[in-house]
Amino acid sequence: MRIFLSRPDITDKEIASVVEVLRSPNLSLGPRLTEFEQALTRYLGRRRAVAVNSGTSGLFLSLLALGIGQGDEVITTPFSFVASATSIMMTGAKPVFVDIDPVSLNLRPDRIEAAITPRTRAILPVEVFGNPAGFDEICRIAERHHLPVVEDSCEALGSALNGKKAGTFGKLSAFGFYPNKQITTGEGGAILTDDEALADLCVSLRNQGRSSGDQWLLHERLGYNFRLSDINCALGLAQLARIDEIKARRSRVARWYQEMLADEVRLIVPTTPPGGDISWFVFVVRLADSVGCEHRDRLLEEMRRQKIQVSNYFPPIHLQPFIAERYGHGPGDFPACENAARRTVALPFHAHLTEDDVAFVCGVLRGILDTALR
């Protein structure tokens, strides 16, 4: 590949922070864990953060802490990374999908109420591609029905809607720090909440069900190992210290794409919603509805042949074979999701891209469209 889809933004500061931990006696449950959690609470303005070993673990523990399990239903979006649904399934609960808004690609607020049943225990919305659109409305509906929101903010660190940050909408909110996210810990994640009791429960669940006391081999409840090492936390701390700079660099790349593709009527280019501030996670364009969706896969293939790494974020979750089979879903169940999923092209997107790289990608993209649509 000549241009990669994503790349972490790591400086000598991150490297020095990690090396410092390696020279210390505390590789896990040490001082960096607490510091990373405190830095997250400060950045997001929430009372508590619980660092865990992945964003998926963060969602799973959030649901477990709410007591969600067998026989329960959780409303979520079919247009997301699979973890937003599998975290529900791993608790024993059922993901109940609701179609998306065709513009924001987020859960459609006006379709949520029809999906609520006596078994509904929570709503799990996702800021897809970092876009917080609709989250105010989703929270209003949840409140009206006394349902907690578990916010999958794994793609949205640094985004905000009307000044309210992504990761502050949910009763519990989960972030992920995989290397393609805005900041990375290698692998890792965190739960953010203002509820002390839920946070304490998550702390216990991530650490083998231990109590907060100092009895290492006393296990109060069924937990597991979802801990994040101090090595990862040190990396996360150095990254979070640079979040404004990282966000700005990524915004600059997004702006280049927006400017260079502004006149391209064959594509839908992502924009920021009214009142929104997007911390760009990926840059996903879509074939316009006037263009046959059969061109998408050929376009992906041709871009890869020209050494540009691209992806098809996201195939519909309800059509993943094991999920379709378990819940009896099929094509046509969520048309807006399926239409979007057939048309997306995730372009290379990271802080190291230069204006020339973006121009090259846009040139190749236009060339393929010219040839295919002639």
Ligand X SMILES: *Cc1c(COP(=O)(O)O)cnc(C)c1O
Minimum distance of ligand X from residue 56's CB (angstroms)? 3
Minimum distance of ligand X from residue 63's CB (angstroms)? 13
Among the listed residues 171, 181, 247, 307, the single catalytic one is: 181
Minimum distance of ligand X from residue 214's CB (angstroms)? 30
Provide the token pair at 264: 């391209």
Asked if residue 83 binds ligand X (CB under 6 A), the reply is yes
Asked if residue 233 binds ligand X (CB under 6 A), the reply is no
User: How many angstroms separate the CA atoms of 202 and 195, rounded?
Assistant: 11
- Binding test (CB under 6 A) with ligand X, winner from 36, 79, 81, 280: 81
Query: What DSSP character marks residue 269?
Result: P
> Who contacts 368 (Cβ-Cβ below 8 Å, separation ≥6)?
298, 299, 302, 303
Minimum distance of ligand X from residue 53's CB (angstroms)? 8
Cβ distance to ligand X smaller for residue 148 or 176: 176
Cβ distance to ligand X smaller for residue 106 or 369: 106
Q: What is Dmax (Cα atoms) for the chain?
A: 71
Minimum distance of ligand X from residue 372's CB (angstroms)? 29
User: x/- site string to ligand X, residues 178 to 217, per CB under 6 A?
Assistant: x----------x----------------------------
Given the rule CB under 6 A, which of 80-88, 94-102, 131-139, 238-246 is the region that contacts ligand X? 80-88
Cβ distance to ligand X smaller for residue 44 or 260: 44
Which residue minimizes CB distance to ligand X? 55
- Binding test (CB under 6 A) with ligand X, winner from 17, 80, 106, 120: 80
Provide the token pair at 128: 């897809």
Cβ distance to ligand X smaller for residue 282 or 308: 282
Segments in the chain forming alpha helices (H): 12-22, 31-44, 55-65, 83-90, 135-144, 196-206, 230-241, 243-260, 295-305, 321-327, 335-343, 355-372
Phi then psi for 15, rounded to 5 degrees?
-65, -45
Asked if residue 313 binds ligand X (CB under 6 A), the reply is no
Phi then psi for 251, rounded to 5 degrees?
-60, -35
Cβ distance to ligand X smaller for residue 180 or 302: 180
Given the rule CB under 6 A, which of 26-34, 75-83, 244-252, 263-271 is the region that contacts ligand X? 75-83
Minimum distance of ligand X from residue 40's CB (angstroms)? 15
Phi then psi for 132, rounded to 5 degrees?
-85, 10
Active site residue 181: yes
User: How many angstroms separate the CA atoms of 183 and 185, rounded?
Assistant: 7
Say how many C-beta atoms besides its own lie within 10 A of residue 114's C-beta.
Answer: 8
Q: Is 35 exposed, middle or buried (0-12, 13-18, 19+ CB in 10 A)?
A: middle
- Binding test (CB under 6 A) with ligand X, winner from 8, 55, 95, 158: 55
In three-state secondary structure terms, 43 is helix
**177 neighbors 188 (Cβ within 8 angstroms):** yes
Minimum distance of ligand X from residue 126's CB (angstroms)? 5
Cβ distance to ligand X smaller for residue 84 or 232: 84
What residues are paired with 346 via a beta bridge?
284, 311
Q: Can you point out the beta strands (E) in 54-161?
A: 73-76, 94-97, 120-124, 150-152, 160-161
Asked if residue 176 binds ligand X (CB under 6 A), the reply is yes
Cβ distance to ligand X smaller for residue 126 or 149: 126
Of 116-175, binders to ligand X (CB under 6 A) are 126, 152, 154-155
Say how many C-beta atoms besides its own lie within 10 A of residue 310's C-beta.
Answer: 23
Enzyme catalytic residues:
181
Which residues would be at the binding site for ligand X (CB under 6 A)? 54-56, 80-81, 83-84, 126, 152, 154-155, 176, 178, 189
